Chains A and B, each alone.
Chain A
Amino acid sequence: GAVVSQHPSRVICKSGTSVKIECRSLDFQATTMFWYRQFPKQSLMLMATSNEGSKATYEQGVEKDKFLINHASLTLSTLTVTSAHPEDSSFYICSASGQVGWGTEAFFGQGTRLTVV
């Protein structure tokens, strides 16, 4: 399957600082990228959807000014958690989707474990 690389895999930051997470599609053009958040023992929760060159669409309850999403190219999307607080500590996962082979598979990054102290 296609490869989606997410970086960093782990990050610890101080409360009040900002953290940027990168998501790259390595061998296909990702027309759409999705960002998810997953708390312990829970399922993935969709945060936002972004199409290349357009503003992201955020799910209800997700603050767009806190979780900045940029999808400037067909292979890169970034999620910036601004002014992070301990309650933002979570597992963040990106997904990239595009025409890969047959059908409409989406492929996921390895995830980023964010810990805010």
Chain B
Amino acid sequence: DAKTTQPNSMESNEEEPVHLPCNHSTISGTDYIHWYRQLPSQGPEYVIHGLTSNVNNRMASLAIAEDRKSSTLILHRATLRDAAVYYCILRDFNYGGSQGNLIFGKGTKLSVKP
């Protein structure tokens, strides 16, 4: 799986939008962009994923650059419960017929101020 680059940490105020960037300049045509987040002492939680088009779900939005070399996870209104480490991961859909593994980088630690 290709590597991603994220800022180590970000801060946000409660009720404000948060834009978490991710660079993946070596992304291949079959790589999906996945976002997970991890709260302390818990397993990672799936947030959203996409291939080419922007995606929305109840948790967040994913904006994917036209060249797919970068993406941004958007939390529309940050809450204290959104404080977590957010991981941007590329996953090859065509990995050997099985599901490609998820390789975690260091992620972005998001702090939310009340």
A binding-site residues for B, Cβ under 8 Å: 1, 4, 6, 31-32, 34, 36, 43-46, 49, 51, 91, 93-95, 97-98, 103-111, 113
**5 A-B Cβ contacts within 8 A?**
A46-B102, A46-B104, A98-B99, A104-B99, A108-B36
Residue of chain B at shortest CB distance from A98: B99
Pick the most buried of B36, B99, B101, B107: most chain A CB atoms within 10 A of its CB.
B99
Given contacts A103-B32, A103-B49, A104-B93, contact A49 B101 (CB under 8 A): yes
- With a CB–CB cut-off of 8 A, which chain A residues contact B105? 43
- Other 7 A-B pairs with CB < 8 A, given A34-B101, A43-B105, A111-B43: A31-B98, A49-B101, A103-B49, A105-B46, A106-B102, A108-B36, A108-B45
Given contacts A104-B32, A105-B49, contact A44 B100 (CB under 8 A): no
Contact B43 A106 (CB under 8 A): no
Chain B interface, >50% SS class: loop
Pick the most buried of B32, B38, B43, B46: most chain A CB atoms within 10 A of its CB.
B43
Question: A109 vs B104: C-alpha distance in the bound complex, in angstroms?
Answer: 16
Residue of chain B at shortest CB distance from A49: B101
Residue of chain B at shortest CB distance from A4: B43
Within 8 A of A (CB), among B95-114: 98-107
- How distant is B39 from chain A, measured CB to nearest CB, in Å? 11
Question: A24 vs B26: C-alpha distance in the bound complex, in angstroms?
Answer: 34
B binding-site residues for A, Cβ under 8 Å: 32, 34, 36, 38, 41-46, 49, 87, 91, 93, 98-107
Going nearest first, the 9 A-B pairs with the smallest beta carbon separation are A108-B43, A97-B99, A32-B99, A44-B104, A111-B43, A43-B104, A108-B44, A93-B43, A32-B98
- With a CB–CB cut-off of 8 A, which chain A residues contact B104? 36, 43-46
Contact A104 B91 (CB under 8 A): yes
Question: A49 vs B96: C-alpha distance in the bound complex, in angstroms?
Answer: 12
- With a CB–CB cut-off of 8 A, which chain B residues contact A107? 46
- How distant is A101 from chain B, measured CB to nearest CB, in Å? 11
Contact B41 A93 (CB under 8 A): no
Contact B98 A6 (CB under 8 A): no
